[in-house]
Amino acid sequence: MANNISSIVFGIAIVIAAFVLGNAVINRNRPQGTVNVTGLGETNFTSDLVVWEGNFSRESSDLKGAYASLESDKTAVINYLKSKGIPQDQLVFNAVSTNPTYQQNYTANGTYAGQTFTGYQLSQTLVIESTEVEKVEKISREITELLNQGITFYSQPPRYYYTQLESLKLEMIAKATEDGRIRAERIAENSNSSLSDLITANMGIFQITGQNSGEDYSWGGTFNTAAKNKTASITMKLSFGVE
């Protein structure tokens, strides 16, 4: 009786061992590991905020006279911009900058002979920040009309921004992640494997370039402010399990 029981136990042990070893061979032959991909999220958008700067100046041998002339120019600038549809509360004038001016003196043989004080140069910078992008853009090109009033106004190129940037970043991350998953699935299919869970995900640098500008990406991230129409992009480095 005892011998029969021992034989039965021994037989069961052999069956279990065979099952375990057989399963180990099957799992060993099944491809396992990871697939690493980089997904790209990209979209075009148009800026909805413009910042434009310009400055005007006056020179005079008399500081008080130069300041009075600059104040007169400021009034003319305000009236001009208001006539173009810019509310006065959007006009931000920085403090007046005052610099002495000198004439450089030289002798007949070209030797430097010091300088002579000639007066003062006063200048003031104007900043406009507006969501009326097209309007401000147009004014920045037409501001030279002030020259007809005797006002020396120097216009800087407008800078363009996007107020929904954080939402755009989230959208780009989602696009880049989906693009990476699709790439990983194709790699797995081509190797007769199936894609498993996401193991790691690392976000790349957010880049904003001008549309069709040919700008190079930067390791620290590019943030174009010169173009009204821009392209945003981001990469996601993803690692998936395969089986």
Q: Give tens-digit pLDDT for 98-126.
A: 999 999 999 889 898 899 989 999 999 99
User: How confident is the model over 90-104, as a mean pLDDT?
Assistant: 94
Single out the residue of 30, 26, 39 nearest to residue 198, CA to CA.
39
Q: Are strands 112-130 and 229-242 parallel, antiparallel or unpaired?
A: unpaired
The pLDDT of 62-77, averaged and rounded, is 94
Structure tokens of 80? 């001009």
Please name the amino acid found at residue 216: D
pLDDT (tens digit per residue) in 11-42: 443 433 333 333 433 344 444 688 999 999 99
DSSP secondary structure letters along 121-188? EEEEEEEEEES-HHHHHHHHHHGGGGGGGT--EEEPPPEEE-TTHHHHHHHHHHHHHHHHHHHHHHHH
Half-sphere exposure of 192 (CA within 13 A, CB side): 3
Name the DSSP letter for residue 110: S
Closest CA to 70 of 154, 152, 156: 152
How far apart CA 12 and CA 8 sit, in angstroms, is 6
Tokens of 106: 């030289």
- CA 84, 86, 69 angle in degrees (round to 5)? 80
Per-residue model confidence as pLDDT tens digits over 149-184: 889 899 999 999 999 999 999 999 999 999 999 999
Q: How far apart are the first and last CA of the chain?
A: 48
User: Tens digits of per-residue pLDDT, 204-238?
Assistant: 989 999 998 877 777 778 899 999 999 999 999 99
- Cβ–Cβ contacts within 10 Å for residue 148, how many? 7
- 3-state secondary structure at position 225: coil
